Structure 1
Amino acid sequence: MPDLQPTLIGETVELRPTVSGDWTALFAVASDPGIWAIHPAHDRWQEPVFRRYFDDALASGGGLTIRHRATGRVIGASRYRIDPDNPQACEIGWTFLARDHWGAGTNREMKALMIRHILQWFDVATFHVGETNIRSRRAMEKIGGVLSDRTSTAVLADGPVVHVIYDIGRDAEIARA
Structure 2
Amino acid sequence: MEHFYIPLSDRKITLLPITKAHIQEMRKLSSDKDVWTWYTEDLTNPDALEGWMMKRLEETERGEKMTYSVQLNETGEIIGSTSYGHIDWAEGGIEIGWTWLGKAYIGSGINKHMKFLMLNHAFEAMNIERLELRTDEVNVRSRKAMEKIGAKHDGTLRNHRSTQGGRRRNTVVYSIIKSEWPEIRKTIFKEF
TM bin (shorter chain): 0.7 to 0.9
Counterpart of 1:22 in structure 2 is 22
Q: Which one of 125, 130, 151 corresponds to residue 136 of structure 2? A: 130
Please tell me whether the aligned partners of residues 40 and 162 of structure 2 are also in contact (alpha carbons under 8 angstroms): no
Deviation (angstroms), 1:130: 1.2
Q: Residue 96 and residue 169 in structure 1: after superposition, are their counterparts in 2 closer, same or farther (change >3 A)?
A: same
- 1:71-82 matches, within 5 Å, as 71-82=75-86
When the two structures are aligned, how many residues end up with a matched partner? 176
Indicate the larger mover: 13-22 or 28-37.
Answer: 28-37
TM-score (norm 1): 0.86
Which blocks of at least 5 consecutive residues in structure 2 are unaligned?
Answer: 61-65
Identity percentage over the alignment? 25
Counterpart of 1:57 in structure 2 is 56
SS at match of 1:108: helix
Using CA pairs under 8 Å that are at least 6 residues apart, name the structure with larger relative contact order, 1 or 2: 1
Structure with the greater alpha carbon radius of gyration: 2
Q: Residue 57 and residue 87 in structure 1: after superposition, are their counterparts in 2 closer, same or farther (change >3 A)?
A: same
Deviation (angstroms), 1:103: 2.2
Partner Cα separation in structure 1 for residue 147 and residue 98 of structure 2: 17
SS at match of 1:115: helix
TM-score (norm 2): 0.80
Larger helix proportion of the pair: 2
Which blocks of at least 5 consecutive residues in structure 1 are unaligned?
Answer: none
Query: Would you say 1:162 and 2:170 are equivalent positions?
Result: yes
